[in-house]
Chains A and B, each alone.
Chain A
Amino acid sequence: MMDKKEYENGSLLKPLSSVKYLFKKPHTLQYPKEEKPVPERYRGFHINDIDKCIGCGNCRDICPCAAITMVDPSPIHPVEVKEGTNPLRPQIDYGRCSYCGLCVEVCPTGSLQLSKDLIYTSTDGDAFVWIPAKEQNREPGFTQTDEITPLMLEKVEMPELEPDVRKKTFEEIILGFNEEQARKEAMRCLGCGVCMQGCPAHMKIPEYIQAIFDGDNKLSVKYMLEDNALPGICGRICTHNCQDDCVYNYRGDALQIMWLKRFATDQLETYKDVEVEKMPPTGKKVAIIGSGPSGLSAAYYLATMGHSVTIFEKRPRAGGALGLGIPLYRLPIYELDKEINHIKSMGVEIKLNTEVGKDVKFEDLLKDYDAVYLGIGLSYGRSIHLKGEEHPDVIQAIDFLRQVKVEGRRNIAKRVIVIGGGNVAMDVARTVVRLQHISYGGVDTMVQTVSLEDWDIMPASKEEIEGALEEGVIFNPGWGPKQVIFDENGKIKGLEVVKVKSVFDENHRFHPTFFEDQVKVLEGEFIIEAVGQMYDFSFIPKEIFEKLKFTPRRRVQVDEYGETTIPGVFAGGDLVPTSKGNAISAIANGHRAAIGIDRYLQEKSRREK
């Protein structure tokens, strides 16, 4: 231990030894003549790569000093706004900044860094506020790492049926999160809301994920129902553009927003406890033709606005493509029933087996109702005019899927060819796999798809392609169907395909070209065409139909509120140009049309007074 004795009395001479320092070199640096090296991790002024930055605003939200505001950076660096990004960029007030570097830690793109520079002088206080950009040429200092980051980069894996199990059954593939998994996944959300832009319905994603994290599933579903009348269905079959825009895509795994939505809705047996606001009855009547996602969405929101709504559906089941087309392993019947029952509980009447044009006249609807909404969708398969397609063993995807789902079709050929590379083709191929397992135990069976598009531009989602591959579907990307080959008995032997040179022309328009000399024959006895659908307006009398205008791409021309060129007639779903051919955009434009119809009806009552 230290000896205290030495210190007791002290010495008068010892202090004099310090005189030696008179002859030593001082250890101070003469700045700026002598530069001191700045440490690697130095936390100085910010550097922001404005082109890489997506303007998510997480830096602003985490800043403990409120030093960051999001502003338009164009005066110093013009930005090109890409889809799924914001045009604003961080501006920093260095009178507030504490140089803690939390903004850098949470930056999802890694565009933000701190520099080794901390010297700036000005007599103008406002000069200490600026937009950091690369133009300022600062040397990088403190930067983020993937080893130590406050962000939770890894997703919670979704439990699902193994390929060997699932291809034998129409049971749902996705098993769903449990409470713990859902909360853990919800915990990853940064709440920046960039995802909301990607969602056609602009759902309040950060809010409903926060509610799931807080364990309040009812509140979560309430947020969902504000913009989406069919949240449980979207939780299963949505194309989840939100997830493609999730900022975690830049660093780590995207947040599984869709599965979280599914979790919250699954926790509620019915939505009757979710307090949805309903306006008092207005006495106005609206007819909706078609009970697909857009029709149901429009009906639901019109009902909450107090209008009395009747849906006319020609099929024996409501749901449109949801009820008839989407296979059971993706969307079980009970889920559809649950959501449709909720819409019915809002006072919506659904008349099944009632075809407009046959059971009721379109012109009567125009007379008896205050407004009419067309939600008929693209319910007929589109032919590609293949040579030999009039044979009964060449069938349209939409008919095939309906036969399997609704009519209980189970017979299937051993070797099947599916034409198409979209999600419907995947649904068909994977349905065929299941039927073949049910009928033949999967022995000597084969499903192959053929699509014009090669792997890189195949329109089907990545998950669907992966799922199909796991289940043993064979792909022929980059081949175009030419003609059906028959044997001597008139039975289908196969499909002749020809190698694709390019799918689009230089203007990015669909215009396939082929290498005519490269031909092969795919063997199979049954061919399903899944190359697109179209509408049928034959129920509208000619004199009214003439008033309906179409866009150059053959969609119904509507204004921003979904009103067609016929006053009082609105359209939505896949009929209108805002459709992206998926459920969520139909739900979104159905909601938009409901707002339009409500405006129209209010305007009408004002005029009547």
Chain B
Amino acid sequence: MNKSYELFIGPNHPGIPGNFSLHLELEGDTIVSAKGDPGYLHRAFEKLMEYRLYIQNLALIPRICVPEPDINETAYSMAVEDLMGVEIPERAKYIRTIVLELARVTAYLLWMGGYAGSLGLYTLGQWATGDRDYAIDLFSELTGARVYHMYVWPGGVRRDLPQGWTDELLSYVKYMKDKLIDYDNLFFKNAMFAHRAKGVAKVTKEQALEWGATGPILKATGVAQDVRKDDPYAAYPYLDFEIPTMEEGDSWARAIVRRFELETSLNLIEQAVKKMPKSGPVWTKMPNPFKWYVPEGETYAKVESTRGEHGFYMVSDGTGRPYRVSVRGASMPHMFTIAEKLLVGSRLADASHILLSLDICPPEIDR
């Protein structure tokens, strides 16, 4: 008689953060092996980009990551700007920073709902979705679209801020800061959450470094690594902020790190609005899109996403289309080295909790 059995979670499963499948082998309700099965979201974006003009890729890149599309637009633009040796205007740097931080807020809110849901608390998901929508309203006013903004483009941003937008933004930030107290009371300071999440899926500092973890997973083990600090881009060099870290390295620590990151983002938005030049250009003139040739060379541009280091490696052969674009999504190592290891030995009921504590984004794995 077989002692173990196989169980597939996903690609359509509420406990999976996207179109992704997980093959589990269980003994009783204990996981003995776990294997990620990607491919459900493979859209060949990297290949498609090689056949499109530099500007046409604007429609593809945000779709690499649904919760936080702006990181893709920014990293892609930074790569093109680097190859072309273009410096973007000061005001555009601040606008990019605001956009990235606001996107970070929406991404954390989305994660928060899913994560709390995986532990059985659905109220938080309702709140977070509602509060995220306020940010999306701000985005649609700024960019003209709710989710796929296509707003950051090589040279800067596509349009200047609309009249009175920063006031709306600041009142949203204030609202969120007040609301965070309620989020804390209901969830992050909830004794049941601490009890449930502590000690689950623990990663040590050494393991995290060895397995290629970045973002909150690494920060939760005590390493203050963040692209915004280590390799600053946009307006981050001019802003004052600290990287929150924890020592425990477990699911709980990762959640608390993200909770602090959310607060940091809200602070950064306030700072950026205050320090931003009141007027000035927001775009450096770029060549005619039909004859936009990028000089030969290669580059790697990276930004900090809510999940860790997100980068674009781009090779140009001097023509109007990229020779190669490779996307480094933070979730790739988080799924295939970390999640596969952490799931082994845990209970089935913890599987989606663990996946969400690692905040894995399947579109980033598949591309």
> Are B260 and A2 in touch, CB under 8 angstroms?
yes
A10-B189, A12-B191 as given contacts; A41 in contact with B52, CB under 8 Å = no
Q: Is the CB of B256 within 8 A of A10?
A: no
Q: Are B144 and A14 in contact (CB under 8 A)?
A: no
Asked if A7 is at the interface (CB within 8 A of a chain B CB), the reply is: yes
The yes or no answer to A150 lying at the interface (CB within 8 A) is yes
Contacts A17-B185, A64-B56, A100-B150 given; does A9 touch B291 at CB 8 Å:
no
User: Within residues 42 to 65 of chain A, which ones have a CB less than 8 A from any CB in chain B?
Assistant: 42-43, 61-65
Confirm or deny: A130 has a beta carbon within 8 angstroms of a beta carbon on chain B. no
**A6: interface (CB < 8 Å):** yes
Flag if B189 contacts A11 (CB, 8 Å).
yes
Return the chain A residue nearest B139 by Cβ: A39
Judge whether A1 and B144 touch: CB under 8 Å.
no
Docked Cα-Cα span, A4 to B257, in Å, equals: 9
The verdict on B236 contacting chain A, using a C-beta distance below 8 Å, is no
Tell me which residues across on chain A come within 8 A of B142, comparing CB atoms: 41
Say if the beta carbon of A177 comes within 8 Å of chain B.
no
Interface residue from A10, A64, A99 paired with B190 (Cβ < 8 Å): A10
Task: Provide the bound-state CA to CA distance between A8 and B291, in Å.
Answer: 58
Task: Give residues of chain A (507-528) contacting chain B, Cβ–Cβ below 8 Å.
Answer: none
Give the docked Cα–Cα distance between A188 and B285 (Å).
12
A412 at interface by CB-CB < 8 Å: no
Residues B194 and A7 in contact, CB atoms below 8 Å apart: yes
Instruction: Check B290–A190 contact: CB distance below 8 A.
Output: yes
A63 to B283, CA, bound (A): 22
A33 at the interface (CB under 8 A from B): no
Task: Known A64-B58, A150-B286, A213-B291; judge A1-B185 contact (CB<8 A).
Answer: no
Who on chain A is nearest to B163 by CB?
A40
Q: Does B120 contact A (CB under 8 A)?
A: no
Tell me whether B242 and A1 are in contact (CB under 8 A): yes
0/1 interface trace, chain B 271-297, chain A, CB 8 Å (1 if under): 000000000001101111111000000
Cβ A2 vs Cβ B145 within 8 A: no
Answer whether A98 and B244 are a contact pair too, CB < 8 Å, given A27-B130, A152-B287. no
- Kindly list chain B residues whose C-beta atoms are within 8 Å of the C-beta of A42: 140, 144-145
CA distance in complex: A228, B87 (Å):
43
Once the chains are docked, how many angstroms separate the CA of A12 from the CA of B290? 62
Which of chain B's residues has its CB closest to A67's CB?
B59
Any chain B CB within 8 A of the CB of A145? yes
B182 & A100 in contact (Cβ 8 Å cutoff): no
A101 proximal to B (CB < 8 A): yes
**One of B59, B143, B263, B290 near A61 (C-beta < 8 A):** B290
Which of chain B's residues 110-160 have a Cβ closer than 8 Å to chain A? 123, 130, 140-145, 148, 150, 158-160
B210-249 toward A: CB 8 Å interface, digit per residue (1/0)?
0000000000000000000000000000000010101000
A186 touches B185 (CB 8 A): no
Range of interface residues on A (Cβ < 8 Å)? 35 or more
Instruction: Count contacts between A and B, CB distance < 8 Å.
Output: 130
Beta-carbon contact of A17 and B182 below 8 Å: yes
Q: How far is the CA of A28 from the CA of B185 in the complex (A)?
A: 23
Contact A39 B52 (CB under 8 A): no
Contact A7 B188 (CB under 8 A): yes
Q: What separation, in Å, do the CA atoms of A42 and B151 have in the docked complex?
A: 12
Flag if A7 contacts B256 (CB, 8 Å): yes
For the complex, give the distance between the alpha carbons of A62 and B54 in Å: 11
- A114: min CB distance to chain B, Å: 7
CB of B354, distance to nearest CB on chain A (Å): 20
Known: A43-B144, A43-B145, A102-B55. A8 touches B194 (CB 8 A): yes
Task: Please name all residues of chain B whose beta carbon is closer than 8 Å to the beta carbon of A18 when the two chains form the complex.
Answer: 123, 182, 185-186
Q: Is the Cβ of B130 less than 8 Å from the Cβ of A10?
A: no
B-chain residues with CB within 8 Å of residue A150 when the two chains form the complex:
55, 286, 288-289
Contact of A189 with B291 in the complex, beta carbons under 8 Å: yes
Whether A203 is near chain B, meaning CB under 8 Å from some CB there, is no
Contacts of A187 in B (CB 8 A): 287-288, 291
Residues 343-394 of A at the B interface (beta carbon under 8 Å) = none
Q: Which residues of B contact A28 (CB under 8 A)?
A: 130
| Chain A residues with CB under 8 A of B256 | 4, 7
Residue from B52, B53, B191, B289 in contact with A11 in the complex, judged by beta carbons closer than 8 Å: B191
Cα(A101)–Cα(B195), bound, Å:
50
Within 8 A of B (CB), among A1-33: 1-2, 4, 6-12, 14-15, 17-18, 21, 27-28
Indicate if the CB atoms of B289 and A98 lie closer than 8 Å. no
Q: How far is the CA of A100 from the CA of B286 in the complex (A)?
A: 18
Q: A1-B244, A10-B195, A98-B148 are in contact. Are A39 and B291 (CB under 8 A)?
A: no
A-B contact pairs, 16 of them (CB 8 A): A2-B260, A7-B184, A10-B189, A10-B193, A11-B189, A12-B191, A17-B185, A28-B130, A43-B144, A62-B289, A99-B148, A100-B150, A101-B150, A114-B144, A148-B158, A148-B283
> With contacts A7-B256, A63-B56, A101-B150 known, what are 16 further pairs, Cβ within 8 A?
A1-B244, A4-B256, A7-B194, A10-B194, A15-B185, A15-B190, A17-B182, A27-B130, A40-B162, A41-B143, A43-B144, A62-B55, A64-B53, A65-B59, A114-B144, A150-B55
- A contact residues vs B (CB 8 Å cutoff): 1-2, 4, 6-12, 14-15, 17-18, 21, 27-28, 39-43, 61-65, 98-102, 106, 114, 141-142, 145, 148, 150-152, 186-191, 210, 213
